[in-house]
Amino acid sequence: MAGKRVNRSAAQLAEARALWRAAESRPRDRERKREAVILTAARAFRERGYHNTSLDDIAGELKVTKPTIYHYVQNKEQLLFECFSAGLKQIIEGLEEIRGADGPARERLEYVITRYAEAITSDFGWCMVQAENQDLSPTMSGKVQALKSQIDQGLRRLIKEGQLDGSIRKCDPKMTAFALAGALNWIAYWYRADEALSAQEIARRFIDLFDLGLRPR
Amino acid sequence: MAGKRVNRSAAQLAEARALWRAAESRPRDRERKREAVILTAARAFRERGYHNTSLDDIAGELKVTKPTIYHYVQNKEQLLFECFSAGLKQIIEGLEEIRGADGPARERLEYVITRYAEAITSDFGWCMVQAENQDLSPTMSGKVQALKSQIDQGLRRLIKEGQLDGSIRKCDPKMTAFALAGALNWIAYWYRADEALSAQEIARRFIDLFDLGLRPR
DNA sequence: AGAACTCTATACTGGCGAGTATAGTGAGCG
DNA sequence: CGCTCACTATACTCGCCAGTATAGAGTTCT
């Protein structure tokens, strides 16, 4: 729910903590504060990992204490869940945007790949990929699985459509979707914001590779 | 060090716990017991995650108590490290086997991909991919990074060689290696031993995809 | 037999960290 | 002014779990 509304820009909320320092704390700030908590958590998780990050750590970074966090979020698990879905929903948005659009499916797939790369390089990229069902209660885990499955199905559908309209070669849609998702998800492991390449440039190279393959034409 | 010696066969050590029940506990069993501890840990980590697995859990599965584990391993961290390197070394072996072999580099790369897929689907696959430096001390983390880097460099070298001998199309070796490794590593997330496809079959499909690409030829 | 060594169990400690009880503080409102 | 509500801090509790002190059991060697 808070997903797409969570601020994506690093610089914009980098000093989110100022929100609390500002004396004129208006009631409408609540939602923004909540988002700041989630964003801070996402970054902490990415840097130190979920289990190596205490709520005191997160609170500390916001110059606040633990109970304050519990005022915006039910528990640590929910914090992880929010990070999770914030990222996944960006990808799903990309899939829905081009659902049923015109043009060869391969080109639509390429658009999704770019959006995917952008999401993975965002602050929520790490959580999206690395955080495991293992750390979520069955309920939460189920919701995350559903979102992931939605993405997987979306990719497979695009591949199948491409095989029908002739823009994609005959190949196993399931394995192809897995390979594609794997390559993209893995970005979260090696990408750092100071990296030479932007998400778009990475996406372009991946598209080139998956499009044409390794063997010379 | 124990890496390649850790038993790879699931069935073979499935009832490793019998080792302790057997009355004729010979001193030479020590190394095998140690391997059983590591293998059991690897499986537990894969199922529940590193932080959600206590040493008591692992001991319990072996019908043994915690101090026994400390007799074979210094601490929990080392247990993780052993799982880590056991898997990584399988991949490195594959790379070294074909180092400087004859034939087009693309074909050598395909061999490595198969070996890679086999390693990832092994019991150590999860640890190899999922376990993070974050959970290791700087020393251990450094060793793991070195191994991973060795694999990355090996892949890149193969790609460059292929571009020289003409068996691989011109493309960014770094991004290609990342995409390849990502697709392969991701297997650890979705593969289950009861899966319809074997490691070799998965590898074959991946090779087909990366070789020929999505666009019809 | 009994010394020395290897392996294992029982029963602890010590710390970390999630979550909470309680008590403010200050803004808005009548 | 004094009531209420939203928010925040201090100062706890409580459980879990990595790691250990200690003691005992079995084996081997002399």
pLDDT in tens, B162-215: 999 999 999 999 999 999 999 999 999 999 988 889 999 999 999 999 999 999
State yes or no: pLDDT of A11 exceeds 90: no
Q: What is the pLDDT of residue A17?
A: 55
A53 touches strand C (CB under 7 A): yes
> For all residues of chain B together, what is the average pLDDT?
89
> What pLDDT, on a 0 to 100 scale, did the predictor assign at position B9?
45
* Predicted pLDDT of residue A15: 52
Most B CBs within 10 Å: which of A209, A210, A211, as the mutation test of the B interface?
A209
Angle at which helices B105-120 and B173-190 pack, to 10 degrees? Answer: 30
Model pLDDT for residues B106-146, shown as the tens digit of each residue: 999 999 999 999 999 999 999 999 888 889 999 999 999 99
CB-contacted nucleotides of strand D (7 Å): 6-11, 16-22, 27-28
C-alpha span between B76 and B176 (Å, rounded): 35
Predicted pLDDT of residue A165? 96
Distance (Å, whole) CA B139 – CA B69: 22
Q: Give the nucleotide nearest to A67 (CA→C1').
A: D8
| A216 DSSP 8-state letter | -
**Chain A residues with CB-CB distance to B45 below 8 A:** none
Beta strands in A81-141 (DSSP E): none
Query: What φ, ψ does residue A132 adopt, rounded to 5°?
Result: -110, 150
Residues 6+ apart with CB under 8 A from B84: B124, B127, B128, B131, B136, B144, B147
CB A190 within 8 A of CB A184: no
**Do the Cβ atoms of A171 and B209 come within 8 Å?**
yes
- Tell me the pLDDT band of A194, cut-offs 50, 70 and 90: confident
Percent with pLDDT over 70 in chain B: 87
Measured between beta carbons, which residues in chain A are less than 8 angstroms from residue B187?
178, 182
Q: How far is CA B216 from the centre of its chain?
A: 34
Task: Give the angle subtended at the CA of B20 by the CAs of B19 and B21, to the nearest 5°.
Answer: 95
Question: What residues contact B95, with CB distance under 8 A and at least 6 apart?
Answer: B112, B150, B151, B154, B155
Q: Which nucleotides of C are covered by protein (CB under 7 A)?
A: 6-11, 16-22, 27-28
pLDDT at B128: 93
Residue B14 has pLDDT above 50, yes or no: no
Per the CB < 8 Å rule, is B134 touching A211? no
Residue A24 has pLDDT above 90, yes or no: no
Task: Please report, as a single letter, which amino acid is at residue B146.
Answer: A
Which is more confident, A195 or B128? B128
Q: Which residues of A64-103 are buried (b: 16+ CB within 10 A; e: fewer)?
A: beeeebeebbeebbebbbbbbbbbbbbbbebbeebeeeee
